């Protein structure tokens, strides 16, 4: 067994989508009174959503919050990216070839566009200010060349089921570039019947011409990074507001494609926010009736992203105030008819991810939570992108000039990566099952992994007695079949996940805290 010792979670230069597990991330851990919710039925896969009784408040137990506010990994990958080592172009070729015989067979493509017109002070992504036109053109040329290079090593029958553009700000560049990349993908790869083609957009840079061009380029899911409707908050964090009214942006997308799916993204925990102001933002978001609403908790890492120091000077909300923002937003979302899928993500009851959660088939990769039908091995293109293959993680260089030069020589611009051991594949599947569907069922894992259930328990160092505290606190239920997270425990999911991680070493302050 080759389980590596952990050091830190946050990875400088990781892209937004791949850092936060777009579109969903477990960024904070909370609890609330269990009598507000129906506990999950341990013997079924059905995840019951909280039932709101009038205006009963969603309260978080401060005792549990204090107890479990620990430095723990976020598990956007296993092993985490900070444990990647040097990786070379020839090794990536071998990994690509090997991925053809591994599952899942379908392909997910991630495209990283690092450019932004200006940098928001809260940003933890791999972003850079917009360069000269020549640099942008050369970068897009390199992405197209990288796509052609990777295609040469993949089996011709494999289909693309998912494409995601992250950044940076993908719509900071000309829409003709995005259309060119998409057309090349469609020419190079066979497509699944209904692929998801998603893009993260800054609404400050959208007009009707650009919106129509995105629809013409076959984008069918759009994530609008609103962050907050309060203009003063946006000014404080150096974020431009939407160029058009948000309802007009949504109307235009649906004008050109009635079936387009729209997410609205927000951040709480920023200077100038309060529970009252965030309630107004959430209420306004619900009134727009998007397909999904995402409320990310702000991750403050000024020792890595120096410009975040500006938010220290502006004054960040106290932890209890931030917690009240979460409670208020969660309650309003439930009352507004949205289902919770993951700590930060809310969707309409008929959404495919809600259905996947209810049936126990929710999955995730670096592009976010998704159904098993759309989940593929992830092949990433552009600077800092991380490919997530069955047996390998491989990350491209973060340097734009080096990326362009290396690709132009016909070499892959990979910088680091890791080959997973048999044991790490098992641990990854166990933790993914927990994080996605809130249960670990030994017999199901035995079927999925082809590994005896007793051996799975041995690999993750599972012992009933280690879960006594979590059971006593009402966070999990343990039986001979496995472990199921309760409706309270899902807000402490990362604390539960570390119980299945034999490589985790507590007490390292470089991990993000639960709150």
Per-residue pLDDT in tens (0 to 9) along the chain, 515 residues: 344 433 333 333 444 544 433 333 333 333 222 222 222 223 233 333 333 333 333 666 888 988 998 878 888 889 887 789 999 999 999 999 999 999 999 999 999 999 999 999 999 888 888 878 999 999 999 999 999 999 999 999 999 999 999 999 999 999 999 999 999 999 999 999 999 999 999 999 999 999 999 999 999 999 999 999 999 999 999 999 999 999 999 999 999 999 999 999 999 999 999 999 999 999 999 999 999 999 999 988 898 889 999 999 999 999 889 989 998 999 999 999 999 987 689 999 999 999 998 988 888 777 677 776 778 999 999 999 999 999 999 999 999 999 999 999 999 999 999 999 999 999 999 999 999 889 999 999 999 999 999 999 999 999 999 999 999 999 999 999 999 999 889 889 999 999 999 988 544 445 555 55
* Fold agreement between 24-72+424-500 and 225-348: no
For the record, the structure tokens of 411 come out as: 């070499």
Question: Cα separation of 96 and 381, whole Å?
Answer: 13
Q: Which two tokens stand for residue 358?
A: 């209810």
Q: Residue 409 has what DSSP assignment?
A: T
Question: Would you state the torsion angle of the CA atoms of residues 437, 223, 168, 180, taken in this order, to the nearest 10 degrees?
Answer: 110
pLDDT at 342: 74
Angle, helices 422-437/442-449, rounded to nearest 10 degrees: 130
Domain boundaries, the chain: 24-72+424-500, 84-201+352-420, 225-348
Q: Residue 447: which residues within 8 A CB-CB, separation 6 or more?
A: none
CB atoms within 10 A of CB 156: 8
Q: CATH number of the domain at 225-348, please? A: 3.30.750
Q: How far apart are CA 28 and CA 327, in angstroms?
A: 12
pLDDT for residue 510: 52
Reference 412, options 378, 376, 381; nearest CA is: 381
Q: Does domain 24-72+424-500 have CATH number 3.10.129.10?
A: no
Q: Which DSSP helix (H) or strand (E) runs through 93?
A: helix 89-99
Side-chain half-sphere exposure of 242, counting CA atoms within 13 A? 21
Q: Helices (DSSP H) in 101-221: which residue ranges?
A: 133-151, 175-188, 208-216
φ/ψ region of 438 (left if φ > 0, alpha if ψ in -120 to 50, else beta) reads: left
Stated pTM of the model: 0.87
Phi/psi region, residue 452 (left: phi>0; alpha: psi -120 to 50; beta: rest), is beta
Contact (Cβ atoms closer than 8 angstroms) between residue 222 and residue 261: yes
CA distance 239 to 117: 10
CA 507 and chain centroid, separation: 25
Strands 107-113 and 439-441: unpaired
């Amino acid at each position: 067994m080759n389980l590596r010792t952990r050091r830190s979670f946050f990875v400088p230069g990781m892209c937004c989508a791949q850092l936060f597990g777009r579109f969903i991330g477990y960024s904070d851990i909370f609890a609330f009174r269990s009598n507000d919710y129906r506990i999950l039925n341990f013997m079924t896969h059905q995840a019951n959503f909280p039932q709101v009784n009038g205006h009963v408040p969603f309260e978080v137990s401060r005792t549990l919050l204090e107890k479990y506010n620990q430095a723990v990994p976020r598990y956007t990958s296993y092993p985490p990216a900070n444990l990647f080592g040097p990786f070379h172009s020839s090794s990536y070729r071998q990994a690509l070839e090997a991925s053809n015989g591994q599952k899942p067979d379908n392909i997910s493509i991630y495209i990283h566009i690092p450019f932004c017109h200006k940098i928001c002070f809260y940003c933890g992504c791999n972003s850079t200010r917009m360069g000269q036109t020549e640099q942008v053109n050369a970068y897009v040329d390199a992405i197209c060349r990288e796509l052609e290079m990777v295609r040469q090593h993949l089996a011709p029958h494999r289909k693309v089921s998912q494409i995601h553009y992250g950044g940076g700000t993908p719509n900071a560049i000309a829409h003709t570039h995005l259309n060119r990349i998409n057309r090349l993908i469609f020419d190079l790869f066979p497509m699944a019947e209904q692929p998801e083609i998603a893009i993260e957009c800054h609404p400050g840079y959208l007009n009707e011409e650009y919106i129509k061009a995105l629809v013409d380029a076959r984008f069918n899911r759009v994530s609008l990074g609103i962050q907050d409707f309060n203009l003063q908050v946006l000014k404080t964090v150096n974020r431009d507001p939407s160029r058009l009214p948000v309802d007009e942006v949504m109307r235009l997308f649906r004008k050109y494609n009635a079936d387009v799916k729209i997410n609205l993204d927000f951040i709480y925990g920023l200077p100038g926010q309060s529970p009252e102001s965030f309630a107004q933002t959430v209420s306004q978001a619900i009134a727009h009736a998007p397909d999904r609403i995402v409320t990310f908790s702000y991750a403050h890492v000024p020792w890595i992203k120096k410009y975040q120091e500006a938010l220290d000077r502006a004054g960040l909300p106290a932890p209890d105030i931030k917690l009240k923002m979460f409670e208020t937003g969660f309650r309003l979302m439930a009352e507004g008819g949205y289902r919770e899928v993951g700590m930060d993500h809310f969707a309409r009851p008929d959404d495919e991810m809600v259905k996947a959660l209810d049936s126990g088939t929710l999955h995730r990769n670096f592009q976010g939570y998704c159904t098993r039908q759309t989940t593929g091995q992830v092949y990433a293109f552009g600077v800092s992108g991380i490919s997530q293959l069955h047996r390998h993680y491989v990350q491209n260089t973060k340097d734009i000039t080096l990326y362009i030069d290396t690709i132009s020589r016909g070499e892959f611009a990979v910088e680091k990566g890791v080959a997973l051991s048999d044991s790490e594949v098992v641990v990854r599947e166990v933790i993914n099952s927990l994080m996605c569907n809130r249960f670990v069922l030994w017999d199901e894992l035995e079927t999925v992994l082809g590994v005896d259930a007793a051996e799975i328990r041995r690999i993750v160092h599972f012992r009933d007695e280690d879960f006594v505290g979590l059971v006593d606190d009402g966070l999990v239920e343990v039986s001979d079949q496995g472990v199921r997270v309760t409706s309270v425990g899902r807000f402490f999911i990362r604390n539960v996940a570390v119980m299945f991680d034999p490589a985790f070493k507590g007490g390292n302050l470089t991990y993000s805290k639960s709150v």
